[in-house]
Structure 1
Amino acid sequence: MPKAYVFTRNGGPETEALIDVDRPEPGPEHLLVAVRAAGVNPVDYKIRNGYRRPGEDGGTFPAVFGGEVSGVVVETGESVTGFAAGQEVFGAPDSGGYAEFAVLPQSLAAHKPAALSFTDAATLPVAAATAYDGVHQLGLAPGATLLITGAGGGVGVAATQIARAGGVRVIGLASEGKKDLLTSLGAVHVASGPGWPERVRAAAPDGLDGIYDLVGGEVFAEAATLAGDGTPLISATVRPEEAEPHGGARVERARTAAVLEAVADLVVKGDLDPQVGARFPLERAGEALREVESGHARGKVVIEVSE
Structure 2
Amino acid sequence: MPKAYVFTRFGGPETETLVDQDRPSPGPGQLLVAVRAAGVNPVDYKQRNGYARPGQTARELPAVFGNEAAGVVEEIGEGVTGFAVGDAVFGNPVGGGYAEYTLLPVAVTAHKPEAISFTDAAALPVAGATAYDGIRQLDLPAGSTLLVTGVGGGVGVAATQIARAFGVKVIGTASAGKKDFVESLGAVHVPSGPDFVAGVRAAAPDGVDAVYDLIGGEVLEAAAELLTDRSKLITAGGKDIVGRLGGAPVARARNAAILDEVAHLVADGKLNPLVTQTFPLSRAGEALRLVEDGHARGKIVIDVAG
Q: Which amino acid aligns with 1:288?
A: A
Distance 2:167 2:142 in 1: 4
Aligned to 2:273: 274
Aligned-partner SS, 1:183:
helix
The Cα shift of 1:306 comes to: 1.8
* SS, match of residue 241 in structure 2: helix
Partner SS, residue 215 of structure 1? coil
Q: Which residue identity does 1:109 align to in structure 2?
A: T
Residue by residue over 1:61-96, the C-alpha shift from the partner in whole angstroms, topping out at 9 and shown as x without a partner, is 110000000000000000000001111000000010
Q: Does 1:56 align with 2:89?
A: no
2:86 is matched with: 86
Q: Deviations over 1:157-176 (max 9, x none)?
A: 00000000000000001111
How far has the Cα of 1:243 moved from its partner? Answer: 1.0
Residue 184 (structure 1) shift:
1.0
Match of 2:247 in 1: 248
Q: Which residue is 1:219 aligned to?
A: 219
Q: Is the Cα–Cα contact under 8 Å of residues 151 and 174 in structure 1 kept in the other structure?
A: yes
Query: Which amino acid letter does the alignment assign opposite residue 293 of structure 1?
Result: E
In the TM superposition, what is the alpha-carbon distance from 1:56 to its structure 2 partner?
1.5
What is residue 144 of structure 2 aligned with on the other side? 144
Distance 1:212 1:121 in 2: 23
Match of 1:298 in 2: 297
Which amino acid is the alignment partner of residue 47 of structure 2? Answer: I
> 1:13, 1:80 → 2: CA distance?
37
**Identity %, equivalent residues:** 66
Unaligned runs of 5+ in 2: none
**Deviation (angstroms), 1:54:** 1.3
Aligned to 1:283: 282
Aligned equivalent of 1:180: 180
Query: SS state of the match for residue 243, structure 1?
Result: coil
CA distance in 1, matches of 2:91, 2:265: 16
Structure 1 residue 226: Cα displacement: 1.1
Alpha-carbon separation, structure 2, partners of 1:91 and 1:286: 22
Alignment-mate amino acid for residue 20 of structure 1: D
Cα displacement (A) at 1:58: 2.5
RMSD, aligned CA: 0.9
CA contact (8 A) 2:68 2:93 kept: yes
Residue number in structure 2 paired with 1:65: 65
What is the deviation of 1:231? Answer: 5.4
**1:195 aligns to what?**
195
- Superposed CA offset, 1:106-138 (max 9, x none): 010000011110000000000000000000000
1: CA distance between counterparts of 2:30 and 2:231? 41
Instruction: Judge conservation of contact 2:231–2:247 (CA < 8 Å) in 1.
Output: no
CA distance in 2, matches of 1:217, 1:230: 16
Shift of 1:218: 1.1
SS at match of 2:296: coil
> Match of 2:258, as an amino acid?
V
Distance 1:230 1:288, change over 3 A: closer
Partner in structure 2 of residue 167 of structure 1: 167
- Whether the 8 Å contact between 1:68 and 1:124 is mirrored in structure 2 is yes
Q: Runs ≥4 in structure 1, deviation > 4 angstroms?
A: none
Structure 2 CA distance, aligned partners of 1:9 and 1:230? 40
Distance, in Å, in 1 between the alignment partners of 2:280 and 2:111 is: 24
